[in-house]
Structure 1
Amino acid sequence: MTNVNFQYPIFGPDIKCPHCRQTIEALTLTDTYLCPRHGAFEADPNTKVLVHLQSGRHWRLWEDKWYRQHTHPDGIRFEIHEALDRLYTEGYRATKVIISERYYSLISSYLEKGNNWQGEKETKVYKLYGLPVEFSSKASDEPCWEIINFILEKEKGAPSRYPYFRLFE
């Protein structure tokens, strides 16, 4: 008797499509999932990366949620902008953006840079859409930062004006 798990890709018999979040099924005896709307996704069993074959976009799974692995600064900036928009419509406002350290070289030249004087020590301050930006620690013990892209710190109450429309400044 053969093990049924060997007939499916590494993520099992079905997954949620990273684009539309609709349940899509695996093609048996392949490493492929097929979404009727978005086409084929191939799962790499060695890297645990899901690749959208049509666009070449890479996705990784963390706690049942797919995270796109960005290769261009506009992709991560757009994703942050969308998350800020969702927060605002839910009645929250962001107070800080924490971005995965692996994106530092990709996005740092696109951030507003300033200096902050604290006592006798000067520190660099990065901002994106008017919000302070921090990067996750390189030596972080949290494995999530190898997969997730950013976290928004938030508080209840939307600001009096919407400051996030400066997407491509």
Structure 2
Amino acid sequence: MLGSASQYPIFGPEVHCPHCRQTIPALVLTDSYLCSRHGAFEANPKTEELVHVQSGRHWRRWQDRWYRQHTHPDGIRFEIHEELDRLYTQGFRATRVIIAERYRQLMSPYLEHGAPWQSSGREKIPKLYGLPVSFSEPASVTPQWAVVNFDLEKEPGVPTQYRYLKMFD
């Protein structure tokens, strides 16, 4: 006799859709979940990834949050840009971008390295959107970096309403 747990994919009877975050049910006796808005997702028990069937995008979960696993630098850059916008609207500003080590080879050619006339003999710090970039520790040292794509160091910024008031003083 099969236990009820063996009737569901590896993430259980339901998960949150990686796109819209609504709760989506597992299809019993399959390795799939079905979102009414985004279609089918297949759970891969070997890689512990959720794969969107229509687009082929891969997602992995860390602390109950889904992270898209990128294969192209534009995906990471877009995701970082969205997070910078979100921080800004919350009254914060980013001071540094930390990108997962596993993306070093993929991202390095797309980072700003400064113009030749800016050279001061020191090693140039790569930048993205004007922010210094560093790469994380290897996932073998800090396991979250096997799933998480990037992190932003942040500090409080000037609230938006004060910025507009200063313009008219």
Give the TM-score range, shorter chain: 0.7 to 0.9
Looking at structure 2, the residues matched to 116 and 134 of structure 1 have their Cα atoms a distance apart, in angstroms, of 19
Looking at structure 1, the residues matched to 32 and 68 of structure 2 have their Cα atoms a distance apart, in angstroms, of 17
Counterpart amino acid of residue 76 in structure 2: I
8 Å contact from structure 1 (residues 99, 150) kept in 2:
yes
Q: Which residue of 2 aligns with 1:166?
A: none
8 Å contact from structure 2 (residues 57, 68) kept in 1:
yes
Q: Which protein has the larger Cα radius of gyration, Structure 1 or Structure 2?
A: 2
Task: Return structure 1 stretches of 4+ with deviation > 6 angstroms.
Answer: none
8 Å contact from structure 1 (residues 93, 159) kept in 2:
no
| 1:96-142 Cα distance to aligned partner (Å, 9 max, x none) | 0000011111111110014876xxx8323110000000001237511
TM, length-normalised to structure 2: 0.88
Looking at structure 2, the residues matched to 89 and 135 of structure 1 have their Cα atoms a distance apart, in angstroms, of 26
- What secondary structure, in the 3-state scheme, does the structure 2 residue paired with 1:113 have? coil
TM, length-normalised to structure 1: 0.88
RMSD, aligned CA: 1.9
Q: Which residue of 1 aligns with 2:55?
A: 55
Structure 2 CA distance for partners of 1:145 and 1:139, relative to 1, 3 Å: closer
Q: For structure 2, which runs of at least 5 residues remain unmatched after alignment?
A: 164-169
Looking at structure 2, the residues matched to 18 and 106 of structure 1 have their Cα atoms a distance apart, in angstroms, of 23
Looking at structure 1, the residues matched to 31 and 105 of structure 2 have their Cα atoms a distance apart, in angstroms, of 32
Greater helix content? 2
- What secondary structure, in the 3-state scheme, does the structure 1 residue paired with 2:85 have? helix
Shift of 1:158: 3.9
| 1:45-85 Cα distance to aligned partner (Å, 9 max, x none) | 11101100000000000000000000011000000000000
Q: Which residue of 1 aligns with 2:15?
A: 15
Counterpart amino acid of residue 44 in structure 1: N
Q: For structure 1, which runs of at least 5 residues remain unmatched after alignment?
A: 162-169
Identity level (%): 68
Q: Which residue of 1 aligns with 2:108?
A: 108
8 Å contact from structure 2 (residues 138, 145) kept in 1:
no
Structure 2 CA distance for partners of 1:47 and 1:140, relative to 1, 3 Å: closer
Aligned length in residues: 158
